[in-house]
């Protein structure tokens, strides 16, 4: 371990650190997330969450009617 005092690098202005909100996303992180990664080859078919949701709803609907 280093005995040197932690200091902010010159390229980072001190007001940048002071402007942050501590724990801003902590609650959401603790509750979990619903983020999933789509393989690159599927991104052209599902470019955004709207396309993914539409496809999943159609898939679920087809499974319900098939049983």
Sequential DSSP letters for 3-42: -SPP---TTS-HHHHHTS-TTTTHHHHHH-----PPPHHH
Each domain of the chain, given as residue ranges in start order, spans 14-66
Report whether pLDDT(3) > 70.
Answer: no
pLDDT of residue 12: 81
What number of CA atoms fall less than 13 Å from residue 60's CA on the CB side? Answer: 6
pLDDT digits (tens, 9 = 90+) for 28-67: 888 887 888 899 999 999 999 999 999 999 999 999 887 6
């Amino acid at each position: 371990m280093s005995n040197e005092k932690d200091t902010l690098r010159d390229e980072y202005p001190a007001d940048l650190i002071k402007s942050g909100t501590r724990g801003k996303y902590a609650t959401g992180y603790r509750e979990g997330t619903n983020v999933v990664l789509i393989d690159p080859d599927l991104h052209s078919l599902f470019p955004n969450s709207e396309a993914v949701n539409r496809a999943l709803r159609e898939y679920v609907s087809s499974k319900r009617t098939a049983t």
